[in-house]
Amino acid sequence: GIPIDVCKVHGEDAVFLQQAAHITGGRYLKLPTPQGFLQFLMITFLPDRYTRTYQCLPGEEKVDFGAACFCHKKIIDIGYVCSFFVIHWNNVQLAG
C-alpha cells in the first residue's frame, strides 16, 4: 500500500488524518514550532520505508482511535452511524 504522511502545521490534531497515517504505515507530525520546518520535513518524511523502521521519532505511539462526531468534530464514546454516508453523530433526533 501507499503510506499517507501528514504534517499538521496549524491548529488542533486531526484525528482522521492521524488514523489514516497510522493505518497506512505513514507518519503524522504535528509541527511544534515553525522554526526548523525544513529540518522536520527532511528527517520525518524523506526517509524510505526501510529506513523509517530504524528511526525513533517522538509522538509516534500516540494515536487516537476514537470516533468523531460529524457535526461537532468532537470525540464521542457512544454515537449513531449513518450506514449510507458512514458518518457519526452524537445526538440524533428522529422525525415523526
Render 41-55 in DSSP notation, one character per residue: HHHHHSS-HHHHTT-
- pLDDT of 58 strictly over 80: no
Provide the pLDDT for residue 4. Answer: 92
Question: Which band of pLDDT confidence, cut at 50, 70 and 90, is reported for residue 5?
Answer: very high
pTM strictly above 0.85: no
- CB count within 10 Å of CB 60 equals 15
Domain ranges of the chain: 6-52, 66-96
Class of residue 28 by CB neighbours under 10 A (exposed 0-12, middle 13-18, buried 19+): buried
For the cut 50, the answer to whether the pLDDT of residue 83 exceeds it is: yes
The confidence band for 96, taking pLDDT boundaries of 50, 70 and 90, is very low
Task: Yes or no: say if 59 and 32 are a contact pair by the CB < 8 Å rule.
Answer: no
Give the percent of the chain with pLDDT over 90: 6
Does position 89 have pLDDT exceeding 60, yes or no?
A: no
